[in-house]
Amino acid sequence: MPNSRLPPFDESPPRPEAPRSVYRAHGYIGQSGRVVRPLPAFAADAEALIALYRWILLCRHFDTRAVALQRTGQLGTYAAATGQEAVPVGVAHAMIDADVLIPTYREAIAQVMRGARFDDILRYWGGDERGADYAATPARHDFPPAVPIASQVPHAAGVAFALKHGHRNGAAVCFIGDGGTSKGDFHEGINLAGAWQLPLVVVIVNNQWAISVPRRAQTAAETLAHKALAAGIQGVQVDGNDVVAVREVLDHALRAARTSHAPCVIEALTYRLCDHTTADDASRYRSDAELREARKHDPVARLRTHLQHQGLLDASAERALEADCEATITHAVDAYLATPSRSTASIFEHLYAELPAELVRQQARLAETDHGP
Give catalytic residues, as residue numbers.
Answer: 272, 276, 285
What gap in Å lies between CA 145 and CA 285, rounded to an integer?
26
Instruction: Please give the Cα distance from 201 to 188 (Å, whole number).
Output: 14
Q: Which of 267, 268, 152, 258 is nearest to 198 (CA)?
A: 258
Give the helix/strand (H/E) hosting 35: none
Q: Please choose, from the candidates 83, 134, 90, 128, the residue with its C-alpha nearest in 3D space to the C-alpha of residue 110.
A: 90
The answer for residues whose C-beta is within 8 angstroms of residue 192's C-beta and 6 or more apart is: 154, 157, 161, 198
Strand 264-269, strand 234-239: pairing: parallel
Cα 213 → chain centroid: 21
The count of other CB atoms within 10 Å of the CB of residue 39 is 17
- Angle (deg, nearest 10), helices 118-125 and 315-337: 50
Cross-strand pairs, 265? 202, 235
Which residues in 181-198 are b (16+ Cβ under 10 Å) and which e? bbeebbbebbbbbbebbb
Distance CA 350, CA 361 (A): 17
CA distance 201 to 172: 6
Dist CA 244 CA 27 (whole Å): 8
